Amino acid sequence: MLLQDDSLVGARQREAIGALFEDWLVERARSLGIVERSGFAVVAVGSLGRREMVGYSDLDLILVHDDRYPERLSEVADGLWYPLWDAGISLDHSVRSVPEAMRVTREDATAALGLLDSRFIAGDEDLARLMTVSVRNLWRSEARMRLPQVIEAAEDRWRRTGDIAHRAEPDLKNGRGGLRDIQLLNALALAQLTDGLARLDPGTEGSPLPRAYDFLLAARGEAHRIAGRARDQIRAQDADDIAAALGVADRFELSRRISDAGRTTSYAVDAGLRTAQNAVSRRGFSRLRRAAALRHPLDEGVVEQGGEVVLARSAIPSQDPGLVLRVAAAAARNRLPINGPALERLATYGAPMPEPWSSEALADLLVLLASGHDMAGPIEALDRAGLWGALFPEWDRVRDLPPRDGIHTWTVDRHLIETVAAAAELTTSVSRPDLLLLGALLHDIGKGRGGDHCAVGAELAEHIGRRLGLWEPDRRLLAELVRHHLLLHRVVTRRDPADPEVVAHVADVLGGSAVLAELLGALSDADSRATGPGVWGEWKATLISGLVERVVAHIGGAPVPAPDPIPPDLRELADRGGLHVSLRPGDGPNMTIVTMIAPDRPGLLSKMAGVLALSGLHAHSATVAGHAGHAVDSFVVMPTFGGPPDAPLLRQRLAAVLDGDRDPVAELAARAAARLPEAGVSGRPAVPVSRTAAPPRARWLAGPHGRPLLELRAADDEGLLARVAAELEKARADVAWAKVSTLGATAVDTFCLSLPDDGPAARHAVAAAVLAVCAPTR
């Protein structure tokens, strides 16, 4: 049989199968009197209409009639359909007049897309042509109005099936980047909303899309043949046979070829949909001339234009190694795609990242990772342009690597991204959210190299940590996080996690690090949820969280923050009295340390932090202390754009605030309220704003000398410290000292407080008030 002929693969197989069906349909139609000018025509849609028939594909046919012979309709239709049913062929059929076909086109967007592929097979060719031309003309006239419905249907399909580039068992037909997306592009081109694709000839030069299309069709054909039925999903157990039939080395190479085709198609459909949406948004004469789109700043060298992230006119990629990460972070933070030409410019002219990375580049990476699922698109865009691999050469071994067991839903590279997205929801549950995100990104980086991927990955993580500029203790902690990322799973599934000996053993393995135990608990959660359905559940979550609590208690708990000593020069300035503002360079090229000294008074910290935020300075860390009746506060800041203001200007602004001429918290709130919530509009904040779903958390600790410490973990944003300090002032809580740090996109702040009422109810009220102002200002 033809379907068992292994010599026919790809286009030859599709041509042979299609010819068999067409020859039979032509002969059957002739025997039923379906001939030229008979008032009946057989029209193919679906796979046969597109000449994509493979073994076990559905046969999609329309019997078109002109209403002249209603008495013959049933006889002719039954004569066509019953022999096909009797032969066991899966048939999708309909009987339509031309007006009925047009009504279906108008009422059902999915059916309309199918009708666009209609092709005459037998009978009255003029009648078939009339239906095809009428349907396509109607589609062209209404496509602009129908576009939102079409996009919504595509997005629903993508949500159900996922990306074929990253699924362990991808759906080549319905998945994102699959065959239906190419058909969608053709439909948009037919409506003149995108560049014309016509029929995708694999020999077409200048575009990888036709080759991707042909490979997906060939792989789908072999999936049908090997499964012995219609199956659009590439199953793991069939992958080696499909690879052999297509002349591909093995299932791993097949996965990479499918992933590459899916990435190519996804990129094309994303660009096509953006082009179509832009075309629909233009009206009248604006269609003939495109006015210069407004450009809104997002970060240094990065702007938004036309709903995309583009490079500022002043940006020079060859002189700005960190630009690529600022572009990606801005895209994720604002939920915008990266402009294609901007990516090409970065890939062609971008400067290599110096090693070790600057603190600003690492901060931008962490902001990107903390964006949750919003980071997947920008990282995929960077990877497609070769930029992600330049930042992380180790990624080449895991890119498109299929998993070795059936419980994994994703390829290894996408599993890492999904784990980071899950970890972003847990950043406020740990004291080191930066290491949690990096550990999630690297925990399986050792796969595809042979040997124990945990041990191999730990060595790679140490090397990567050095490249990223992490301090040696953090590099060791990151490496141990990767080395032991399966430890808690193995313990709770093989041993009693409540056994004191087991607890002591785990604590010993972790070197007595409560921080590492805490990070492993969160990483275990994120890793399991990113693996596949049924891997993580309430039972396992309870076992692991209980084990972590017992291990931390056995170790003796995490260290409690303590105040830093005030340098002698700052103590001397405080002894002199008065208002002082000074600036000095920080550790990074764009980091500045701003020190503000002023007579202590209620609300002073809020006013100082507010002045910095209004001056376009984003605080990455701060130490708050007091001496000789003066507040001695130092802030490590980075300007949103350009350089920091001069010290005299900052002193003047602080003096105005202290005199009551300005209310910085109110001004920040007004500035936030003026921003529109949707991406791509004027006035978007340029400071990192986390979109993670991690809830803010506040807890009370026992500090030195029995004074209460309020620890706050929350998504960082513009003016957060000023708002929190203002709430503490309202509660009449005096800040004796404070340590403020921003780890990626998460603020981890500790305030040593004196409270007028230190009872449980008062503490609860203070914590609740602080948490209430931690929502990002969007």
Quick one: angle between helices 720-730 and 760-772, nearest 10?
150
Sorting pLDDT into bands at 50, 70 and 90, what band is 122?
Answer: very high
Please, are residues 49 and 119 in contact by the beta-carbon 8 Å criterion? yes
- Nearest Cα to Cα of residue 615 among 638, 632, 631: 638
- Say what the pLDDT of residue 569 is: 93
pLDDT in tens, 167-210: 888 999 999 999 999 999 989 888 888 875 544 544 445 568 88
Tokens 């009946």, located at residue: 40
Would the pLDDT of 434 be above 80? yes
**Taking CA 228 as the corner, what is the angle to CA 84 and CA 57, rounded to the nearest 5 degrees?**
45
Instruction: Summarize the confidence of residues 592-608 as an average pLDDT.
Output: 94
- Say what the pLDDT of residue 693 is: 64
Please, are residues 547 and 491 in contact by the beta-carbon 8 Å criterion? yes
The DSSP annotation for 711-778 comes to EEEEE--TTHHHHHHHHHHHTT-EEEEEEEEEETTEEEEEEEEE-S--SHHHHHHHHHHHHHT-S---
Cα(620)–Cα(609) distance, rounded to whole angstroms?
11
CA distances to 21, 31, 52, 114, 121 from 49, rounded to whole Å, are 11, 22, 8, 9, 9
Please, are residues 477 and 485 in contact by the beta-carbon 8 Å criterion? no
pLDDT in tens, 524-555: 999 999 987 767 778 888 999 999 999 999 99
450: left (phi over 0), alpha (psi -120 to 50) or beta: left
CA distances to 248, 624, 639, 753 from 709, rounded to whole Å, are 62, 13, 30, 6
- Say what the pLDDT of residue 551 is: 95
Please, are residues 252 and 402 in contact by the beta-carbon 8 Å criterion? yes
Sorting pLDDT into bands at 50, 70 and 90, what band is 293?
Answer: low
- Say what the pLDDT of residue 661 is: 82
pLDDT in tens, 446-471: 999 988 999 999 999 999 999 999 99
| Least confident span in 204-218, 330-344, 510-524, 643-657 | 204-218
- Say what the pLDDT of residue 776 is: 52
pLDDT in tens, 19-46: 999 999 999 999 999 999 999 999 999 9
Sorting pLDDT into bands at 50, 70 and 90, what band is 288?
Answer: very low
pLDDT in tens, 133-143: 999 999 989 88
Helices (H), 530-663: 538-555, 568-576, 604-614, 647-658
Cα(239)–Cα(223) distance, rounded to whole angstroms?
8
For residue 63, count CB atoms less than 10 angstroms from its CB and return exposed for 0-12, middle for 13-18, buried for 19 or more. Answer: buried
Please, are residues 480 and 454 in contact by the beta-carbon 8 Å criterion? no
Instruction: Summarize the confidence of residues 668-694 as an average pLDDT.
Output: 54
Sorting pLDDT into bands at 50, 70 and 90, what band is 669?
Answer: confident
User: Going from the N-terminus, what domains does the chain have, and what CATH number goes with each?
Assistant: 2-144 (1.10.357), 162-280 (1.20.120.330), 303-324+334-373+401-555 (1.10.3210), 568-772 (no CATH)
- CB-based burial, 94-106: b 16+ in 10 Å, e otherwise: bbbbbebbbebbe
Please, are residues 680 and 749 in contact by the beta-carbon 8 Å criterion? no
The DSSP annotation for 352-411 comes to PPPSSPPHHHHHHHHHHHTTGGGGHHHHHHHHHTTHHHHH-GGGGGTTTPPPSSTT--B-
Would the pLDDT of 404 be above 90? no
Per the structure block, which two tokens stand in for 179?
Answer: 């065959």
Q: Which comes out higher in pLDDT, residue 561 or 676?
A: 561
What share of the chain in percent tops pLDDT 90?
Answer: 60
Sorting pLDDT into bands at 50, 70 and 90, what band is 680?
Answer: very low
Would the pLDDT of 292 be above 80? no
